[in-house]
Chains A and B, each alone.
Chain A
Amino acid sequence: MLILESAIVNEGKIGGIYLKLYEMTAYEAAQCLKRGEISSQQLVKAVYERINSVEPVIGGYITVLDQERVLAEAHRADELLQKGQAHSPLAGIPMALKDNICTNGIPTTCASRILSGYCPPYDAFVTARLKDAGAILMGKTNMDEFAMGSSTENSAFHTTVNPWDRDRVPGGSSGGSAAVVAAGEAFFALGSDTGGSIRQPASLCGVVGLKPTYGNVSRYGLIAFASSLDQIGPLTRDVRDAAFVLDIIAGHDKQDSTSVPGKKEHYVSFLGKEVRGMKVALPMECFGEGLKNEIKDVVMQAVEKCATVGVHFSEASAPSTKYALPAYYLVAPAEASSNLARYDGVQYGLSVRDAENLLALYWSTRKQGFGPEVKRRIMLGTYALSSGYYDAYYLKALKMRTLIREEFAKIFKDHDFIVTPTSPTVAFKIGEQKDDPLTMYLNDIYTITANLSGLPAISIPCGFVEGMPVGLQVIGRPFDEGRMLQFCYCLEGLLGIKGCMATINVKEGK
Chain B
Amino acid sequence: MPGAYEVVIGLEVHVELHTASKIFCSCPNRFGSVPNTNICPVCLGLPGTLPVFNKKALELSLRAALALNCKVNSFSRFARKNYFYPDLPKAYQISQYEYPLGGIGSLDIFKDGELVRTVTIERLHLEEDAGKLLHDEEHASSYVDYNRCGVPLIEIVTAPDLRSSEEARLFLETLRRTLLYTEISDCKMEEGSMRCDANISLRPKGSEVLGQKVEIKNMNSFKAVQRGLEHEVMRQTKILDKGGRISQETRRWHEDKGVTSEMRSKEKEQDYRYFPEPDLPPIVVDDTMLKKIRAALPELPVTRYRRLMNNYGLSAYQAEIITSEQSLADFFEETLQNYTQPQKVANWLLGDVLKIINVVAKEINKTLFTPAHLAELLDLVDEGQISGPTAKEILEDCFKNGKMPAVIMVEKGLGQISDTEELERVVAKVLEENKAAVQDYEGGNKKVIAFLMGNVMKITGGKANPQMVTALLKKKLDK
Contacts and interface: CB of A to CB of B under 8 A. Distances in A.
Interface of A: 100-102, 108, 110, 115, 118, 120-122, 124, 219-224, 226-228, 254-258, 334-335, 337-338, 341-342, 344, 346-348, 358, 362, 382, 385-387, 390, 394
Contact of B48 (A120, A257, A346): A120
- Top 5 A-B pairs, shortest CB-CB distance: A341-B91, A385-B273, A227-B278, A228-B278, A223-B47
14 contacts: A120-B46, A220-B48, A228-B278, A257-B280, A257-B281, A342-B89, A344-B84, A344-B91, A346-B89, A346-B144, A385-B82, A386-B273, A387-B271, A390-B273
B52 A257 contact: yes
A344 B44 CA distance: 13
A342 B275 contact: no
B50 A256 contact: yes
B46 A219 contact: no
Contact of B281 (A118, A120, A258, A362): A258
B278 A257 contact: no
B86 A358 contact: yes
Q: Is the interface of B mostly helix, strand, loop or mixed?
A: loop
Interface residues of B, number: 28
A338 B48 contact: no
B84 A338 contact: no
B382 interface: no
Nearest to A362: B84
B90 A342 contact: yes
Contacts of B280: 257-258
Given A121-B41, A338-B92, A386-B273, A220 B82 contact: no
Interface in B220-255: none
A141 B275 CA distance: 32
Given A121-B41, A223-B47, A341 B82 contact: yes
B53 to A, nearest CB: 7
B396 interface: no
Q: Is the interface of A mostly helix, strand, loop or mixed?
A: loop
Contacts of B258: none
B387 to A, nearest CB: 66
Interface string B273-287: 111001111000000
B79 to A, nearest CB: 10
Given A334-B275, A387-B273, A347 B91 contact: no
B406 to A, nearest CB: 57
A102 B48 CA distance: 7
Interface of B: 41, 44-53, 80, 82, 84, 86, 89-92, 144, 271, 273-275, 278-281
A120 B47 contact: yes
B47 to A, nearest CB: 4
A344 B90 CA distance: 9
Given A118-B47, A223-B48, A341-B82, 20 more contacts: A100-B48, A120-B47, A121-B46, A122-B46, A219-B50, A224-B47, A227-B279, A228-B278, A257-B279, A258-B281, A334-B275, A335-B275, A335-B278, A338-B92, A338-B273, A338-B275, A342-B90, A344-B84, A386-B271, A387-B273
Contacts of A220: 48-50
A256 B91 CA distance: 20
Contacts of B90: 341-342
A39 B397 CA distance: 80
A111 B52 CA distance: 28
Nearest to B90: A342
B48 A222 contact: yes
Contacts of B144: 346-347
Contacts of A337: 82, 273
A497 B273 CA distance: 49
B251 to A, nearest CB: 22
B281 to A, nearest CB: 6
Contact of A390 (B45, B48, B275, B281): B275
Contacts of B52: 254-255, 257
B310 to A, nearest CB: 48
Nearest to B281: A257
Contacts of B278: 226-228, 258, 335
A472 to B, nearest CB: 30
Contacts of B274: 385
Contact of A394 (B46, B89, B275): B275
Contacts of A102: 47-48
Given A227-B279, A341-B92, A394-B275, A346 B51 contact: no
A226 B53 CA distance: 20
A221 B279 CA distance: 13
Given A122-B41, A257-B51, A342-B90, A348 B46 contact: yes
A362 B86 CA distance: 10
B147 to A, nearest CB: 14
B47 A338 contact: no
Residue among B50, B84, B89 having the largest count of chain A Cβ atoms under 10 Å: B50
B146 to A, nearest CB: 8
Nearest to B275: A385
B134 to A, nearest CB: 14
B362 to A, nearest CB: 40
A341 B275 CA distance: 14
A387 B88 CA distance: 22
B80 A338 contact: yes
A382 B48 contact: no
Contact of B50 (A255, A358, A385): A255
Nearest to B280: A257
A436 to B, nearest CB: 29
A292 to B, nearest CB: 35
A362 B88 CA distance: 13
A101 B48 CA distance: 8
A226 B279 CA distance: 10
Contacts of B41: 120-122
A344 B91 CA distance: 8
Nearest to A340: B91
A390 B276 CA distance: 12
Contacts of A362: 84
B273 A347 contact: no
A222 B86 CA distance: 23
B50 to A, nearest CB: 5
A106 to B, nearest CB: 13
Nearest to A253: B50
Contact of B45 (A121, A256, A342, A358): A342
A347 B44 contact: yes
Given A386-B273, A394-B275, A341 B49 contact: no
Contacts of A118: 47
